[in-house]
A and B are shown apart, each in its own frame.
Chain A
């Protein structure tokens, strides 16, 4: 396991796995609803979370620490299994583990807040007064995705309308129950999912605990949120401290993709800067915590100099 551990943390795969790429291509084709149909014409103006370039950058930044991805989980205890393997078998097993880890690191998509459904399909006033309760009609065809399922509500005053999102979720859980999901969602979910995520990311940024999410599938979402809010300084400093210069360059490239009109993006495009120069330009123009980042950069460069000298 020690050999596996050393190898696992050093691996930085440059490409998404075949399956993950296929998944994202399929999704991009079906347009995930993030600025779909933007007036400017899509990628040129505003890259969305689902774009392949963005996904590649985020995936590179997430890293792949096998020890963290496959960390022990609290569940039913079983006695451990030991296997004797040759070098070739060990490599094969590591390769399989990396494939599985890539599946686990597929990022949940960042979507806009869902708009409430309030479409009226019919108004039959002659039904008024016949019933005292609402009736919910759910289409129970098994093979259609839940998002394409028609669920309508007939109110006592005769109006036939589409069910709201909450009603839809409840009905789908009643007829197609899923393990661990409840018909009436528990109290901790009273806030919107997106709001909870944003609050978490703000808290992480405040306490600079970015490492908690590294090598998990939520790291991409956090980076996307921070880049959109232009709060990338803490993350930059953290990356420089951990000597992840490639990640810093990808972060800055992503920033330039999302905010092409900013000063450093233009300078970078003109000068075609790479590596440390890119960081320096970015720090001078865009960041709020210039001092800290300069200090960190200096420390890094000194460390590099001493290590190459010795």
Chain B
């Protein structure tokens, strides 16, 4: 959520510590021993830690980070606002008539301005829809059937619903969220990998190293009759070379003047 407007009547109270969490790690990771709950002031990196900005590097290496840290418990503000109930409980949509429209509003932020009565996620700037905060995502999944709630049930706007479904799918891909694995019967395949499509095929005899794939990749001596014919045709213009080139070797090809002439 990017709104920085002052909270309006429907909104939970603004929080003093913008980094405080609701059961999920806040994106800007706070320093250890920083503002959260220890003291009121914020400390910034490099200040007073090692003796000022640009101080001496730490002599001992930092301890290895736990790859799966347990998420912090919900903060007091979260408890006060929501208690144990899901975030969307108690939210009431405003619409004309008895039957609510089958789609909620498209977005709660229109051209940077929030609408009146924003949806449960947009109204609280500390709720971040991310694949890592599983506790928030779990509130939007039915515990009995494992299905994501329809936005008319929870009241979220369509944009947030899309972000939620994407985050839930990502969390399931990363293994952070439970997923009912569908039953796949064992396939009746031939698993021996003997078929030439997936097994080894002996390489073509032409592919032996040193041999070209097509014989004309390498220079081949022309047939003697053709050479003799050429020599007979141009015998008046033949320069007497020292010796005709040996039978198997290609003739030397210095940059021919005819090519340069053609290029001009």
* Alpha-carbon gap, A150 to B196, bound state (A): 8
Residue B207 at the A interface, CB < 8 A? yes
Count A-B contacts at CB 8 Å. Answer: 89
Quick one: closest B residue to A160, CB to CB? B213
Interface size in chain A (residues, C-beta < 8 A): 47
Q: Which of B190-211 contact A (CB under 8 A)?
A: 190-195, 197-198, 200-201, 203-204, 207
Contact between B173 and A187, CB atoms less than 8 A apart: yes
With contacts A124-B213, A188-B174 taken as known, whether A75 is within 8 angstroms of B145 at the C-beta atoms is yes
Tell me whether B192 and A30 are in contact (CB under 8 A): yes
**Nearest Cβ distance between residue A25 and chain B, in whole angstroms?**
12
Stretch at the interface among B29-37, B67-75, B180-188: B180-188
Find residues 219-271 in chain A having any chain B CB closer than 8 Å to their own CB. none
- A6 CB-CB contact with B under 8 Å: no
Q: Is B215 among interface residues, defined by CB-CB distance under 8 A?
A: no
**A102 within 8 Å of B (CB atoms):** no
* CB <8 Å contact, B175 and A188: yes
Asked if A73 and B180 sit within 8 Å, CB to CB, the answer is yes
Contact with B along A35-71 (1 / 0, CB 8 A): 0100000000000000000000000000000000000
Q: Which of A122, A125, A147, A150 has the most CB of B within 10 A?
A: A147
Known interface pairs A30-B190, A147-B195. Does A123 touch B207 (Cβ–Cβ under 8 Å)?
Answer: yes
B192 near A31 with CB under 8 A, answer: yes
Asked whether A76 lies within 8 Å of B147 as measured between CB atoms, the reply is yes
Which A residues between 256 and 289 are near B, CB-CB below 8 angstroms? none
- Chain B, Cβ-Cβ closest to A189: B173
Minimum distance in angstroms from B215 CB to a CB of chain A? 13
The reply to whether A36 and B182 contact each other, CB–CB distance below 8 Å, is: no
Is residue B235 contacting chain A, with contact meaning CB distance below 8 A?
A: no
- Pick the contact of B192 from A32, A106, A187 — CB < 8 Å? A32
Instruction: Please tell me which stretch of A83-91, A107-115, A204-212 contacts chain B, meaning at least 4 of its Cβ atoms lie within 8 angstroms of it.
Output: A107-115
A74 within 8 A of partner (CB): yes
- Residues on A with C-beta less than 8 A from B190 are 27, 30, 32, 145, 147
Residues in A with CB closer than 8 Å to B207 are 120, 122-123
Interface flag for B237 (CB, 8 Å): no
Decide yes or no whether B250 CB sits under 8 A from chain A: no
For residue A151, CB closer than 8 A to chain B, the reply is yes
The answer to whether A180 touches B189 (Cβ under 8 A) is no
Separation of A31 and B174 alpha carbons in the complex (Å): 36
Bound CA–CA A170/B203 (angstroms): 25
What chain B residues lie within 8 Å of A119 (beta carbons)? Answer: 200-201, 203
CA distance A124 to B213 in the complex (A): 7
Distance A1 CA – B206 CA, assembled complex (angstroms): 71
The answer, yes or no, to whether B100 is at the interface (CB within 8 Å) is no
Q: Is A195 located at the chain interface by the 8 A CB criterion?
A: no
Q: Are A148 and B195 in contact (CB under 8 A)?
A: yes
Closest to B212 in A: A125
Pairs A-B, 3 closest by C-beta atoms: A33-B192, A186-B173, A74-B146
Pull 6 A–B residue pairs with CB atoms less than 8 Å apart, ordered by A. Answer: A32-B190, A74-B144, A74-B146, A145-B189, A147-B189, A147-B197
- Other 10 A-B pairs with CB < 8 A, given A148-B195, A168-B198: A31-B192, A75-B145, A76-B145, A106-B186, A123-B213, A126-B214, A126-B217, A145-B189, A186-B173, A187-B173
Interface residues of A (CB under 8 A from B): 23, 26-27, 30-33, 36, 73-77, 103-104, 106-109, 111, 114-115, 117, 119-126, 145-151, 162, 165, 168, 179-180, 186-188, 217
